[in-house]
């Protein structure tokens, strides 16, 4: 009984490690599985120790560290054979088969798959038996032994269909499609790809990778290899596409086909550069649609590419209109590079800021910021929020339709199991980090790691917004004092802003304490980002609150609203005020006081009864015109003052106010 808490701890680490693997947070997974290994040895629990070695093998394999993966699989295998753990022995053989297949050691892979198959059949491990048949199919296909590959895929398919293993059934159809395509039996290949595609669509987003794989394989065999269609869309990259079309005719041997997208990796077609030798080129699909092809060095970026693919396949990203679309990751066609196919964009925010006058940037800033925050709101939503962690002007792109998209998810992280913080080494780019994500901040963990939260992305978006409206400046000052001001919570640049509404939003987003910052959804409700109609409705709803009606001096909100001693009545034409204060139907005149709560009451009453005024209308009626336009022009800062006060108290949760704040 004394070991029970330790066993619980081991199970917690195993579950956490698997969860980290699912979100491709491989370093955290490795740490948890190493803890399992240590505890299992202390407990002398051989089965848990074997499982820990298997999980470590899987994690190193996901990270493309094949030799390390093999070492741990072999340790697991040795223990499993010695102690008679047949299920773990089968899994170790399968892991070794996959690892050797990835390392192009096909003969060894076959041997381990055969051993896994032998135990699985003997013991009735149906899932492992199916996986062994699929692995053998892959190995024989890679070894160009088409007939043998077909036999194994067919056996995998038979069990998968019988047992309802939809993932394995889909994989078997894809494998059969591949071997029939290699054998030039195109119609049969088409049939199997279509079956895989059908299952993927039926199963929904959980099978997104398999669905996309089936669709792309099907597209590849149905399109003419000689086709050079071009659905012209991009204006910025038009000349590059014209040149690519001509280049393909003159030098066809220089054109690479990346899953049905033609690309030439030379400087004439380069449209972007990233860290670690990453390059982005224009690409033209055989369907004629323009694409971006991101080339990543295999030795430096395998984990990053896999992770970016995983994040962009998350439901949060796929459902968003403000996150770049991922199409395919090619890991097979080149020994030195990986290729990630994405939707093509026109230009970065950095280019737009550099190429426009300040007046133009101030005009377009709300629309850009609104779309960036919508993208973040999509990424941050539950149950598995995605932290971008590398937001900056070069990672915010405009597409051909004028929409702004978030890109480059190589260091992003997925929060799982209800987590709100991701501790890690400092990542991202200098000048584009939140305070809690920076070295030397007082938010660092005991093991000297910084923290990344959803609110960290928000603070960085605040920095980006300031960069737009000042044509490239930083809210925390010049470079030599920037980090110090960030750590001290001094956004000195905001003092230069003339627009009080924008200034209020940026102070909120740049708050030193993450708890004081808005969520992306809350920021989108700020008066700077909502239309005039919504601002006016908020004022009217405020004017209808019971405490406003009764001038309740005990209310904190009433006191804060009335803390400005300025008499709002002096801002109005005296005759207009008298006209608006009179009820023409009842002949009653209201006497409004100089308090701002009475101003809100007047606005509400005018809006509510404006159309009730009898004909013919006096000249004063037409002098006011549209009450919304009239009052917002007269009191331009009233919406943001009301918003600032209400968002910090529980009034924002009232049913008739909630839509304006949350």
- At 171, list the tokens: 């994989």
Residue 587 has pLDDT above 80, yes or no: no
Identify the pLDDT of residue 222: 60
**What average pLDDT does this structure show over 346-354?**
96
The rounded percent of the chain whose pLDDT value lies above 70 is 95
- At 528, list the tokens: 């700077």
Assign 497 a pLDDT band (cuts: 50, 70, 90): very high
**What average pLDDT does this structure show over 177-198?**
85
**What average pLDDT does this structure show over 607-614?**
82
Q: Note whether 123 and 87 are within 8 A (CB).
A: yes
**What average pLDDT does this structure show over 482-488?**
94
Query: Considering only CA atoms, which of 243, 279, 242, 283 is closest in space to residue 262?
Result: 283
Identify the pLDDT of residue 560: 97
Strand partners, 283: 263, 291
Identify the pLDDT of residue 2: 47
Identify the pLDDT of residue 429: 85
pLDDT digits (tens, 9 = 90+) for 374-398: 999 999 998 899 999 999 999 999 9
The rounded percent of the chain whose pLDDT value lies above 90 is 65
Q: Note whether 94 and 128 are within 8 A (CB).
A: yes
**What average pLDDT does this structure show over 30-50?**
91
Strands 326-330, 347-348: pairing kind:
unpaired
Give how far Cα 408 sits from Cα of 111, 405, 470, Å. 40, 10, 25
Assign 593 a pLDDT band (cuts: 50, 70, 90): very high
Q: Does an H or E element contain 78, and which?
A: helix 66-83
- At 478, list the tokens: 């010049």
**What average pLDDT does this structure show over 13-35?**
86
**What average pLDDT does this structure show over 234-263?**
88
- At 536, list the tokens: 């006016």
Strand partners, 117: none
Residue 257: DSSP 8-state: E
Assign 468 a pLDDT band (cuts: 50, 70, 90): very high
**What average pLDDT does this structure show over 17-35?**
86
Higher-confidence position of 134 and 219 = 134
pTM to 2 decimals? Answer: 0.66
Complete domains list, the chain, with CATH: 4-222 (1.25.40.10), 237-343 (3.30.200.20), 356-438+449-525 (1.10.510.10), 532-660 (1.20.1440.180)
Burial class for 350, CB neighbours closer than 10 Å (0-12, 13-18, 19+): middle
Phi-psi region of 428 (alpha: psi -120 to 50; beta: other; left: phi over 0): left
pLDDT digits (tens, 9 = 90+) for 634-657: 999 999 999 999 999 999 999 999
**What average pLDDT does this structure show over 308-329?**
87
Assign 225 a pLDDT band (cuts: 50, 70, 90): very low
Identify the pLDDT of residue 299: 84
**What average pLDDT does this structure show over 442-469?**
88
Q: Note whether 356 and 467 are within 8 A (CB).
A: no
Identify the pLDDT of residue 316: 81
Report H helices in 143-185: 146-163, 166-182
pLDDT digits (tens, 9 = 90+) for 57-92: 999 998 889 999 999 999 999 999 999 999 999 999
pLDDT digits (tens, 9 = 90+) for 141-167: 999 899 999 999 999 999 999 999 998
Return mean pLDDT, the chain: 90
Residue 519 has pLDDT above 50, yes or no: yes
Query: Considering only CA atoms, which of 640, 648, 558 is closest in space to residue 598?
Result: 558
| Number of neighbours of residue 69 by Cβ within 10 angstroms | 25
Assign 621 a pLDDT band (cuts: 50, 70, 90): confident
Cα four-point dihedral sign 18, 24, 26, 28: negative
Helix (H, G, I), strand (E, B) or coil at 552: coil
46 contacts: CB under 8 Å, gap ≥ 6: 40, 79, 83, 85
């Amino acid at each position: 009984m004394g070991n029970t808490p330790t066993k619980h701890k081991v199970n917690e680490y195993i579950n956490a490690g698997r969860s980290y693997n699912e979100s491709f947070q491989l370093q955290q997974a490795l740490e948890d599985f190493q803890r399992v290994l240590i505890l299992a040895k202390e407990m002398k629990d051989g089965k848990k120790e074997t499982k820990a070695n298997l999980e470590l093998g899987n994690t190193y394999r996901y990270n493309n560290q094949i030799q390390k993966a093999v070492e741990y699989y072999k340790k697991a295998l040795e223990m499993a054979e010695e102690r008679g753990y047949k299920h773990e022995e089968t899994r170790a053989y399968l892991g070794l088969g996959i690892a050797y297949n990835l390392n192009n050691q096909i003969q060894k892979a076959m041997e381990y798959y055969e051993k896994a198959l032998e135990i699985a059949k003997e013991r009735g491990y149906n899932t492992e038996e199916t996986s062994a048949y699929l692995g053998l199919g892959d190995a024989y296909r890679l070894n160009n032994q088409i007939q043998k590959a077909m036999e194994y895929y067919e056996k995998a398919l038979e069990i998968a269909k019988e047992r309802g293993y939809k993932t394995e059934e889909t994989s078997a159809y894809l494998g059969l499609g591949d071997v029939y395509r290699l054998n030039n039996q195109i119609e049969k290949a088409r049939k199997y790809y279509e079956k895989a595609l059908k299952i993927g669509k039926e199963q929904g987003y959980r099978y997104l990778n398999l669905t996309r794989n089936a669709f792309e394989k099907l597209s590849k065999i149905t399109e003419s290899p000689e086709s050079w269609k071009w659905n012209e869309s991009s204006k910025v990259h038009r000349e590059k596409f014209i040149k690519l079309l001509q280049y393909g005719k003159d030098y066809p041997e220089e054109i690479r086909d990346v899953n049905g997208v033609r690309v030439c990796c030379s400087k004439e077609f380069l449209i972007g550069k990233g860290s670690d030798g990453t390059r982005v080129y224009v690409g033209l699909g055989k369907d004629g649609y323009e694409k971006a092809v991101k080339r990543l060095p295999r030795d430096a970026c395998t984990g990053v590419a896999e992770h970016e693919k995983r994040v962009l396949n998350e439901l949060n990203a796929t459902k968003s209109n403000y996150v770049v679309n991922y199409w395919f990751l090619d890991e097979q066609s080149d020994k030195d590079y990986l290729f990630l196919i994405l939707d093509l964009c026109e230009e970065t925010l950095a280019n737009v800021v550099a190429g426009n006058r300040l007046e133009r940037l101030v005009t377009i800033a709300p629309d850009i910021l609104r779309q960036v925050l919508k993208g973040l709101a999509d990424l941050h939503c539950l149950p598995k929020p995605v932290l971008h962690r590398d937001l900056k002007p070069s990672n915010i792109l405009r597409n051909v339709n004028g929409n702004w998209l978030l890109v480059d998810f190589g260091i992003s992280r997925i929060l799982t199991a209800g987590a709100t913080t991701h501790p890690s080494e400092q990542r991202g780019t200098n000048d584009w980090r939140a305070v809690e994500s920076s070295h030397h901040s007082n938010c660092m963990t005991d093991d000297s790691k910084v923290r990344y939260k959803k609110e960290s992305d928000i603070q960085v978006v605040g920095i980006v917004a300031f960069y737009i409206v000042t044509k490239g400046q930083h809210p925390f000052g010049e470079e030599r004092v920037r980090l110090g001001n960030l750590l001290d919570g001094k956004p000195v640049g905001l003092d230069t802003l003339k627009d009080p509404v924008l200034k209020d939003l940026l102070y909120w987003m740049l708050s030193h304490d993450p708890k004081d910052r808005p969520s992306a959804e809350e920021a989108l409700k700020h008066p700077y980002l909502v239309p005039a109609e919504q601002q006016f409705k908020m004022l009217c709803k405020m004017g209808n609150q019971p405490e406003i009606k009764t001038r309740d001096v005990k209310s904190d909100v009433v006191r804060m609203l009335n803390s400005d001693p300025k008499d709002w009545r002096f801002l109005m034409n005296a005759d207009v005020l008298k006209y608006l204060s009179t009820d023409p139907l009842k002949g009653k005149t209201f006497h409004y006081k100089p308090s701002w709560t009475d101003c809100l009451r007047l606005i509400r009453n005018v809006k509510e009864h404006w159309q009730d005024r009898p004909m013919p209308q006096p000249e004063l009626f037409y002098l006011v015109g549209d009450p919304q336009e009239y009052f917002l022009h007269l009191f331009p800062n009233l919406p943001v003052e009301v918003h600032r006060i209400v968002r910090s108290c529980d009034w924002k949760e009232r049913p008739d106010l909630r839509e304006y704040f949350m």
